[in-house]
Structure 1
Amino acid sequence: MAFLRVHEVEKGRRRVEDAVMAVMNRQREKIGEYFIGRAVLGDLGVGEPGGNILRVAFRFFGNRCEYPEAERIWPRWASGVALEKGEWVRWPANYQGAWLHVVQNSWFASNRRAARYGVEDVVHLDGGQISTKPGFYCALGEAVNGPGGYFGSNLDALADCISSSFGEGPPARIIWRNFQTSQESLDHAFLESIVGLMREFRVDLATC
């Protein structure tokens, strides 16, 4: 995987044990990050007349991203063009885990918390769009915090978001339309866990 124009390379420092790779947008703002661990700088590529290096080679010995599809999603986030509602649905279903990964990574790399920032007390989910567990969290994050929004990536993370004392607090009500369609795609135990969690934190969940 090649990450172009996302490194600040220091020629005098060819090895580091705790490297962190920052993902930057076109405005050179950090929108994501990955802890790499040990990294060794290899050969430098051909430079531009002004001295900028076009390409560098690194050898990584630490962590790897478990979502290879994220390589295709990050450029969309880095484009600087605002995300659209429902954009995650346009990707293949097997990309939804990677989309959720990018959502979560970018959310926290941008110094936001696991909380509700949106002001709508009633949020709407469309079960017709929810066919996977990652898709549920993509839909919920968008419904609560807008396109690209995060509101949990698993049951524990969802509980953290709902119970957070930061932000606007939990939504008062969630209306899950086309719930039967979701039932046909998601396993019963997962849906029961979601319903139970909402009940525990006194969030009114209406299905229709």
Structure 2
Amino acid sequence: MTLGERVSSKKPVWADWDHHQKYRQIHKNREDYCRQGRLRAVDKKGREVFLDGRYITDIPSFYLSLGEALNGDNGYFGACLDSLHDCLFGGFGVAPPFTIHITNAPDIECALGKLAWVQMNRERKLGMCEQDESIEQLQE
């Protein structure tokens, strides 16, 4: 199997959604995953996962992409750095050691850069992520 065959060429449903729609989808994916009692994901050690970076345009699209790469459509693998940390230690489809390759990601540094994380942390501290509000909405 070649690298191109391992990376899906299908555009994700959420690719054109705004920041907050993506976060709502991540939370829905998490709730669905937890409701299933973790029956869907069997931890596999030594997995090699290929993450298509073409649609990683912001932090929530990173988490959506990662969840789908590891656990299929509407897959979950974290919604913030704390939950990602939890997922990395097993119980969510993979267990260490495993390798994640990010391909097709020319703009990933901008999408996941310092400014993006500062914005996300500011919203989180203000409790906006849970309420699906944004700083932009408060300024209007």
What's the TM-score, normalizing by structure 1?
Answer: 0.43
Q: Is the 8 A contact 2:70 2:93 kept in 1?
A: no
Please state whether the residue corresponding to 1:142 is helix, strand or coil.
helix
Residue 21 of structure 2 corresponds to 95
Q: CA RMSD for the aligned pairs?
A: 3.0
Runs of at least 4 residues off by over 4 Å: 165-168
Question: Matched residues in 2 for 1:110 and 1:163: separation?
Answer: 19
Q: Is contact 1:137–1:153 with CA below 8 Å preserved after alignment? A: yes
Distance 1:167 1:94, change over 3 A: closer
2:53 is matched with which residue? 127
* Inter-partner Cα distance in structure 2 for 1:102 and 1:165: 18
Rounded Cα–Cα distance in structure 1 between residues aligned with 2:114 and 2:19 = 20
Superposition pairs of residues 147-166 of structure 1, within 5 angstroms: 147-164=73-90
CA distance in structure 2 between the partners assigned to 1:159 and 1:97 by the alignment: 18
Within 5 Å, give how 1:99-118 maps onto structure 2: 99-112=25-38, 117=42
Q: CA deviation at 1:109?
A: 1.5
Indicate if the aligned counterparts of 1:118 and 1:146 stay in contact, CA closer than 8 A.
no
Larger Rg: 1
Structure 2 counterpart of 1:179:
105
Q: Flag structure 2 segments of 5+ consecutive residues without an equivalent.
A: 1-9, 118-140
| Long gaps (5+) in structure 1 | 1-83, 191-208
- RCO higher in structure (CA 8 A, sep ≥6): 2
Higher strand share: 1
Shift of 1:87: 2.3
**Alpha-carbon displacement from aligned partner over 1:97-140 (angstroms, at most 9, x marks no partner):** 11111111111112128x95375811112222011111111000
Q: Say which structure is richer in helix.
A: 2
* Fraction of identical pairs, as percent: 33
Distance 1:88 1:171 in 2: 29
Q: Is the 8 A contact 1:85 1:146 kept in 2?
A: no
Once the two structures are superposed, the pairs formed by residues 17-166 of structure 1 within 5 Å of their partners are 86-112=12-38, 117=42, 121-164=47-90
Residues 149/117 of structure 1: CA separation in 2 closer, same or farther (3 Å cut) = farther
